[in-house]
Amino acid sequence: MFKAIVFDLYETLVTQSGTVVPRAGALGDSLGLDATAYRREWKQLRPLCLRGQLTFREALVEIGTRLGVAIASERVQGACHERVRANVEVFQKIDPAITALTRELHGRGVHLATISNCMAEDVVAWPQSAFAPQFRCAVFSFAAQMVKPDPQIYLEALRHLDVAAADALYIGDGGDDELAGAERAGLRAARAGWFVSRSDMPAVPFLSNVHDVMRLVAKE
C-alpha cells in the first residue's frame, strides 16, 4: 500500500463548480480599469502572486499604477474580501464522500498532504476545513514560493510526510501539468475525474470516483 497520498486541492478535494468565484483576470471593470489592459497586466503578475512574491492586494495596486490609475482602496479591499468569501463558501460545500475517503485513508495509516497553486485568499478556510485533521501538511504555492509542476513542490510535501517519492501517489485533476510534474518528482500519479474531465492528459490511471481511489490503493 502507498505510504502517502498527495492530493491536489481545487477540483480534486474541493470544487468551485456551483460557487461564483470572481476570476482574478476579470476584475478590470470592477476596479475602474480597462478590462483588456487589466487582463494583460494580471497575466504578467499572476505567477508572482502564486509564488508569494506579491500579494493579491499588491498586484491589484501595481496594475493600477502601470495603467496610470489610482484604484480606490475600497475597491481593492472589496476584491480581496470577495475572493476570500467565495472560497470560504467552496470549503463549506465539501463532498462528504471525499471527506469519508480521506478519513479512511488516514485511518489506515496513509500519510496525507495537499498541494495547491494558490494565493493566501484562496485557502483561508483550510485550517478549519473537514480535511485538515486528516492531513499532515498543506503545501500552498504562495507560502512555499514554488508552483506545480516544479518537482520541488512535490518533494517539499514528501519531506514533511517523511516518505520517499517511490512510496507516494499524487492525485489531481490534471491542471498546471501537475500529473507529469509529480511523475518527474518520482511519485506515481493518477487523475481525479469526479469534478472535471480533461482531454490530452498523461497516460496515468483515471479515477472516476472515490471508490476507484481505494481500489488503486488496495492493489499496492
pLDDT in tens, 58-96: 999 999 999 999 999 999 999 999 999 999 999 999 999
Q: How far apart are CA 120 and CA 199, in angstroms?
A: 29
**Residues 213 and 124 placed together within one structural domain of the fold:** yes
User: What backbone phi and psi angles, to 5 degrees, belong to 218?
Assistant: -65, -25
**Residues 31 and 122 placed together within one structural domain of the fold:** no
**Residues 133 and 202 placed together within one structural domain of the fold:** yes
Domain count, the chain: 2
**pLDDT value for 19:** 87
Region 132-159: mean pLDDT is 98
Region 188-202: mean pLDDT is 83
Q: How far apart are CA 80 and CA 83, in angstroms?
A: 5
Region 187-191: mean pLDDT is 96
Q: How many residues does the chain have?
A: 220
Domain boundary residue among 70, 90, 110? 90
- Full residue range of the structural domain in which residue 67 is found: 24-90
CATH number for 187 = 3.40.50.1000
**Residues 98 and 146 placed together within one structural domain of the fold:** yes
**pLDDT value for 202:** 66
**Residues 99 and 84 placed together within one structural domain of the fold:** no
